[in-house]
Amino acid sequence: MTDSEINKKFFRKLIERYLDGLTTAEELKLLINYYESFQKNNEWVEELGAENIIKERMLINILDAIKDEDSKSQKVISLFNRKIVKYAAVASVAIFMAFYFFPNNNNQNPETINTVVNSSIEGGTNKATLTREDGSNIALEKGKNYNSDYVVSNGEELVYSKTNNSEKEIAYNYLTIPRGGQFFVKLADGTQVWLNSESKIKYPVSFEDGKRRIVELLYGEAYFDVSPSTQHKGSKFIVTKDNHEIEVLGTEFNIKAYNDEPDIVTTLVHGKINVNYQDKKYLLLPDQQSNLNRNSNTISFQTVDVYYETSWKMGVFSFQNKSLKDIMKVLARWYDFKVEFKNIKVESELFIGTLGKDDRIEDILKNLKELGIINGFEFKDKKIIIE
């Protein structure tokens, strides 16, 4: 790889961090220096205000300098809806929204459509329902504590204590996350699980060292940070979904299997896992993803940027070449609304970029309208109609 290619790769990654709101002050200085190198006046400005940092031309110039040849014909439009006061404070600033818009269709009709905003739709929170082995249901939410002999919750997480499994029959609990919710659970073996909106898992309240540790994802999405088998006398950790099985020894991975989507998507972040399907084992390495289509009963594999697959657990939604229809499906789960497209042409528009989970849905839609991507939108109770 040439020095030029290395530099391009470095700055491409730096731009991704910039868009995701993750750049440190030093990294932002490098990015600004790179931008300044493309200007006629190369003088370094000691104190850069918000106006100088967040400029559309800064991003455009940098992207034009490093984007791949095969993407040069694509039109790029950037959108920012948050401001940064000083570059030195970037590391502590919340994620700001930054979309690149790659239109697949002709420009939208410039006709102005009134936007009706009367919304009671709010972003999600930490909430879940715990179903105990006796069938009782416990509502878990912020501000409410729950304590039993082996599990405690502060309303934002659920933590099981390690107990000696002397019972003949294994006891199971269920954790259900509604639309507009998310939750964290630490299992009795120390495995950590982050659960996304509209998800449900089944798991034992205790594990016996030396025996397989089996957890079932009934539906939804979960990120697992598995306690290593070396700490449990070699016990393998298994996640099952239908006739699909993930076998791990100690690793981090994400699995997504929503009822309204045909695919079971497993993404490996660290370690190694075996994807077991139809009596065959497929080994996944970090940054690899398996996709099992339940309609066709076929499985495929690809290399991905795991950040886009797992950022939801860090409080952001990141999209890489996702259609507006798919993006709205993700947002609908978090904000708990239904969506209707009156103009089906806009459903296929593609985006890359990042949204904070604390962004107001009204602001997101207003930005799309200002860009001309949609003509308008209307709220009707828990339904959003997109023109």
Residue 116 lies in a domain: no
132-141, 150-159, 227-236, range with the lowest pLDDT: 227-236
Residue 101 lies in a domain: no
The string of pLDDT tens digits covering residues 143-154 is 899 999 899 999
Closest CA to 20 of 86, 98, 85: 98
Q: What is the CA radius of gyration of the chain?
A: 23
294 in the same domain as 149: yes
The string of pLDDT tens digits covering residues 303-320 is 998 888 998 998 888 887
pLDDT at position 121 = 87
344 vs 9, more confident: 344
CATH of the domain at 292: 2.60.120.1440
142 in the same domain as 14: no
User: DSSP labels for 258-323?
Assistant: -TTSSEEEEEEEES-EEEEETTEEEEE-TTEEEEEETTTTEEEEEE--HHHHHGGGGTEEEEEEEE
Residue 108 lies in a domain: no
330 in the same domain as 282: no
Mean pLDDT, the chain, as a whole number? 76
Q: Which stretches of 226-287 are assigned E, i.e. beta strand? A: 237-241, 244-248, 252-257, 263-270, 273-277, 280-284
pLDDT above 80 (res 3): no
1-5, 65-69, 161-165, 262-266, range with the lowest pLDDT: 65-69
113 pLDDT band, cuts 50/70/90, is very low
Q: Which of 96, 113, 144 is the last residue of a domain?
A: 96
Closest CA to 248 of 284, 279, 219: 284
Q: Which of 304, 320, 337 is the last residue of a domain?
A: 304
294 in the same domain as 165: yes
164 in the same domain as 48: no
221-230, 252-261, 279-288, 362-371, range with the lowest pLDDT: 362-371
Residue 256 lies in a domain: yes
247 in the same domain as 278: yes
282 in the same domain as 143: yes
382 in the same domain as 336: yes
193 in the same domain as 327: no
pLDDT above 60 (res 2): no
274 vs 93, more confident: 274
Given its phi and psi angles, is residue 128 left (phi above 0), alpha (psi -120 to 50 degrees) or beta? beta
The string of pLDDT tens digits covering residues 290-299 is 999 999 999 9
DSSP 364: H
pLDDT above 80 (res 22): no
Residue 103 lies in a domain: no
Residue 117 lies in a domain: no
pLDDT above 60 (res 115): no
Residue 276 lies in a domain: yes
156 in the same domain as 278: yes
245 in the same domain as 162: yes
349 pLDDT band, cuts 50/70/90, is confident
Query: Looking at the 3D structure of the chain, how many domains does it have?
Result: 3
pLDDT above 90 (res 12): no
pLDDT at position 122 = 87
Q: What would the mean pLDDT of 88-111 be, rounded to a whole number?
A: 33
The Cα–Cα gap between 224 and 250 comes to 10
Question: What range does the domain containing 26 cover?
Answer: 3-96
348 pLDDT band, cuts 50/70/90, is confident
Check if the beta carbon of residue 118 is closer than 8 Å to that of residue 44: no
pLDDT above 60 (res 367): yes
Q: What would the mean pLDDT of 253-265 be, rounded to a whole number?
A: 95
The string of pLDDT tens digits covering residues 117-128 is 556 788 899 999
186 vs 63, more confident: 186
149 in the same domain as 37: no
CATH of the domain at 354: 3.55.50.30
358 pLDDT band, cuts 50/70/90, is confident
Q: Is the dihedral of CA 353, 359, 362, 363 positive or negative?
A: negative
pLDDT above 60 (res 66): no
pLDDT at position 165 = 61
306 phi, psi to nearest 5 deg = -65, -20
Q: Which of 246, 278, 304 is the last residue of a domain?
A: 304
Residue 118 lies in a domain: no
Q: What would the mean pLDDT of 250-257 be, rounded to a whole number?
A: 94
